[in-house]
Amino acid sequence: MSKVLFLNIPSHGHINPTLGLVDGLVKQGEEVIYFSSDEFKEKVENAGAVFKSYGEKSNFFVPKNKIPSNSIINDLLNRIDEVLNTSEDIIQYILKQIEGIKFDYIVYGSMFPFGNVISQILKIPAISSFAVFAKPKVFMSKNNEELIKNHPAVDTYKKLYNRLNEKYGVHMPPMLDLFFNKGDLNIAYTSKYFISNMIDNYDDSFIFIGPPIYDRKENIEFPFEKLKDKKVVYISLGTVFNNTNDKLYEIFFKTFANYDGIIVMTAYNIDISKFDIPNNFIVKNYVPQSEILKYADVAVTHAGMNSTSDLLYNNVPFVTIPIGADQRYISGRVSELGSAISLDKDTLTPEILRNSIEKVLTDPNYLDNIKKINNSFKEAGGYKKAIDEIIKFKKELKVKL
């Protein structure tokens, strides 16, 4: 069977969707060597892959400024400039770690900025995993075009493009596609119905398999007995931009302090000692989200793709508070489809949040529209479809060879 190189950025939102894919490939007899940071070693190995650490190079993936501005394009350009300035180090590090190993193909997270470049260097076919799917053109305007033209990242990109071309004979993807790296085959964790408003952005190389539903075999302690026969509200702002606004957490505590039920809230890498937390809250650094949603009556989410898909798949009514990256697009999309209410983090108040929660709980249209999306997810085929398509992809490659 084949030897597979897997590259991804060390983030829950990008690692988690790929674990079911790894599990499926390993069960097909593939040997998967997966690069990530040490934090994800156990998860990767539980899925059956051979773990390789980025080591000190893991810092390469941590943005210097994690506070998003009001311009998605500006945030993206600033991040691209950061990445480009240190990119040759991470490329050389990975190549050194796999020296002497012959790979048959590569799988990379679409936001891993040099997956496409490394596939060219190794001269192997590429498969891209799209955990984020809103492309930069979705956010483009004439003002953005002017911003791009004058941003320092443009000059940095041109210089790096020339150096990599001279050293390895490769061509980097267009600058704005560095965090949206396509492969020869592309796997998207959603349905065509969900992105029907932008389906023209996706060619025939894309397959849509629905949300990444997979038992990650996480051994996370949680007092589930406290949720039994209770009304449960689940709150999560994810793991990336969740620590940029203490005001949001204060609003959550004020909104639900007297709520007749239990509030389960994640506070990933947040110092919760600075808050006065009501007794009806269970606040954890990390929780088994899929299991929590079996108890949840309603939720508040940052509108990350994985969390949103989990809510839709479990038929849980929810409101969104997007903070950065593609969260604004996803939040807008679920609102367009009539399945959730999108709230502005800058104007949010306990009253607005409380009223919105009540509305998605009592208006049956929200749940009806959630079920429409849910049905499209279940019809998409899941990881089985992804594995079938990869096997087909491999057979077609052999025919061409």
Contacts of 132 (CB under 8 A, 6+ apart): 13, 14, 110, 111, 179, 180, 305, 325, 326
- Say whether both 148 and 177 belong to one domain: yes
What 8-state DSSP symbol labels residue 286? S
Q: Is the domain of 233 the same as that of 252? A: yes
Q: Check: CB of residue 128 under 8 Å from CB of residue 186.
A: yes
Q: Which amino acid is at 107?
A: V
Do 19 and 148 reside in the same domain of the chain?
yes
Neighbour-count burial of 146, counting CB atoms closer than 10 A to its CB (0-12 exposed, 13-18 middle, 19+ buried)? exposed
**Residues 319, 303 contacting (CB under 8 angstroms):** no
Pairing label, strands 185-188, 126-130: parallel
Q: What pLDDT shows up at residue 215?
A: 75
CATH number for the domain including 26?
3.40.50.2000
How far is C-alpha 158 from the geometric centre of its chain's CA atoms? 28
CA 120 – CA 110 distance, rounded (Å):
15
Q: How many domains does the chain have?
A: 2
Q: Let me know whether 306 and 206 are in one domain.
A: no
| Nearest to 175, CA basis, from 164, 189, 191, 188 | 164
Instruction: Flag whether 115 is in a domain.
Output: yes
Instruction: Examine residue 274 and state whether it is found in any structural domain, yes or no.
Output: yes
Residue 71 has what pLDDT?
59
Percent of the chain with pLDDT over 90: 61
Are residue 187 and residue 252 in the same domain, yes or no? no
pTM of the model: 0.85
Type of residue at 82: E
Q: Is residue 256 part of a domain?
A: yes
Answer yes or no: do 275 and 135 share one domain.
Answer: no
Range of the domain at 253: 224-378
Residues 164 and 275 in one domain: no
Ranges of residues in the chain with a pLDDT under 70 are 60, 62-73, 133-146, 216-217, 239-245, 325, 398-401
316, part of any domain: yes
| Dihedral of the alpha carbons of 140, 145, 151, 155, in degrees to the nearest 10 | 110
Three-state DSSP class for 205? coil
